[in-house]
Amino acid sequence: MHKKNEVVPEAHSIDLDTTQTSVTTQSRYSCEDFRRKKIIWIIIITIIIILATIPTTIILTRKKNLEKISMLETTSITTEISITTEITTESLETTTNDRLVFPINAKWKQNGVTIAGGHKNGNGLNQLNEPYGIYVDDDERAVYIADTMNNRVVQWKFRATSGEIIAGENGIDELSAPTDVTVDKKNNSLIICEQWRSQVVRWSRRSRRKQGIIIHDTTCFGLVMDDNGDLYVATDNYNSVKRWRDGDGSWTIVAGGDVEGNGLDKLYAARFLFVDQTYSIYVSDTCNNRVMKWAKDAKVGEVVAGTFIEGTDLNQLYEPAGVLVDRFNSVYVADTGGHRIIRWSSGATEGEIILGGNEQGAQANQLNYPQEISFDRQGNLYVVDRLNHRIQKFDLDSS
């Protein structure tokens, strides 16, 4: 956490030409692409079913014995399908029940400071490659970053000029497209959403080795832990939020379900989460272009930001990503397609732009498909600036 009189690194300038090269990849992460992949899966599954219902029958006729022997040969068809599921946006990582203390009309300095990455995309220790998730650890004075396309989680100490690989040192063979990370301080470990392998894993902060798989066969995207140690996971393809109880390992769907939709009981590509002190869950309902709140044990949610229609007007969101909530129940949203951070006051019908919104770009006051967001204890705001391959820190403006 930076004190007001501390010197922090200056923002790095970024070559937009290289950024634009990466922009061509962004369509892989859009909701349109998400829908297209669903159609492809349906077609593939249909083909497999058809093939499975047509046995190959071979009839061998032996003329010597003048009898026909019918033999049914079942051809085992193994269809290996490799579809790279890529990612739009991110999730929330902090211990969500921390209630930040700053005024209801708080403002942030409009020029951010690059505190990690910013040296174009790459796999050097001073670089990032399309990061998605972040955890701000005030106790360790560091941030943990899900450096997604580098298949690793890196730790950057405050004011450091390079990071350390904490998980995924051996690349994709060890960690595959991590989209979010949180810290389990009780067990001194990281919990990582490994998107391409559809699992949630635990990683020791001490030994920097994988301790095991917590959850199998779940296309996780974002995750967060509450103050009871329960883990909440946004399951992208399954359009739901599931809670995993600490200790007994039981699963409960606490928002949405297995079928996408735009009703108040449905989600469409749940990706990022926040849990408040009452255990209400806030979900970035990305492909519905809204943020939903689900009270504890509720069967339906309520819309707290955005509408079903994508856009960049103040009453709209465009594929929202990271979400935070302050003590006034104002909702902060990383509006990915709008390249901005928006605050929706409790009960408001439209939001206000607090950061970005100056078109897509790489200047200190611009963002390029922002993903996860997080506050530190001083109220400074951290933004995962995905296609600028950097983490931006925006200081709380106390003037």
Contact between residue 180 and residue 146 where contact means Cβ atoms under 8 Å apart: yes
Q: Per-residue confidence at 160, pLDDT binned at 50, 70, 90?
A: very high
The model's pTM: 0.80
Is residue 24's pLDDT more than 80?
no
Q: Would you state the pLDDT for residue 249?
A: 76
Q: Would you state the pLDDT for residue 18?
A: 42
Residues 190-202: pLDDT tens digits?
999 999 999 999 9
Average model confidence (pLDDT) for the chain? 83
Q: Per-residue confidence at 1, pLDDT binned at 50, 70, 90?
A: very low
Is residue 58's pLDDT more than 80?
no
Q: Would you state the pLDDT for residue 98?
A: 53
Distance CA 147, CA 70 (A): 58
Q: Would you state the pLDDT for residue 277?
A: 94
Is residue 25's pLDDT more than 70?
no
Distance CA 374, CA 134 (A): 7
Distance CA 102, CA 90 (A): 25
Q: Would you state the pLDDT for residue 391?
A: 99
Cβ contacts of 15 within 8 Å, gap of 6 or more: 120, 362
Average pLDDT of the residues in 159-185: 94
Q: Per-residue confidence at 172, pLDDT binned at 50, 70, 90?
A: confident
The strand pairing partners of 147, in sequence order, are: 152
Structural domains in the chain, CATH included, are 16-24+88-397 (2.120.10.30)
Residues 250-288: pLDDT tens digits?
889 999 998 999 999 999 999 999 999 999 999 999 999
Residues 65-95: pLDDT tens digits?
333 333 323 333 333 323 233 333 333 333 4
* Distance of alpha carbon 395 from the chain centroid: 23
Is residue 23's pLDDT more than 80?
no
Is residue 292's pLDDT more than 70?
yes
Q: Would you state the pLDDT for residue 349?
A: 96
Residues 357-378: pLDDT tens digits?
999 999 999 999 999 999 999 9
Q: What is the 3-state secondary structure (H, E, C) of the chain?
A: CCCCCCCCCCCCCCCHHHHHHHHCCHHHHCHHHHHHHHHHHHHHHHHHHHHHCCCEEEEEEECCCCEEEEEEECCCCCCCCCCCCCCCCCCCCCCCCCCCCCCCCCEECCCCEEEEECCCECCCCCCECCCCEEEEECCCCEEEEEEHHHCEEEEEECCCCCCEEEECCCHHHCCCCEEEEEEECCCCEEEEEECCCCEEEEEECCCCCEEEEEECCCCEEEEEECCCCCEEEEECCCCEEEEECCCCCCEEEEEECCCCCCCCCCCCCEEEEEECCCCCEEEEEHHHCEEEEECCCCCCCEEEEECCCECCCCCCECCEEEEEECCCCCEEEEEHHHCEEEEECCCCCCCEEEEECCCECCCCCCECCEEEEEECCCCCEEEEEHHHCEEEEECEECC
- More confident call, 120 vs 26: 120
Q: Would you state the pLDDT for residue 188?
A: 96
The percent of residues in the chain predicted with pLDDT above 70, rounded, is 75
Q: Would you state the pLDDT for residue 221?
A: 95
Average pLDDT of the residues in 38-56: 58
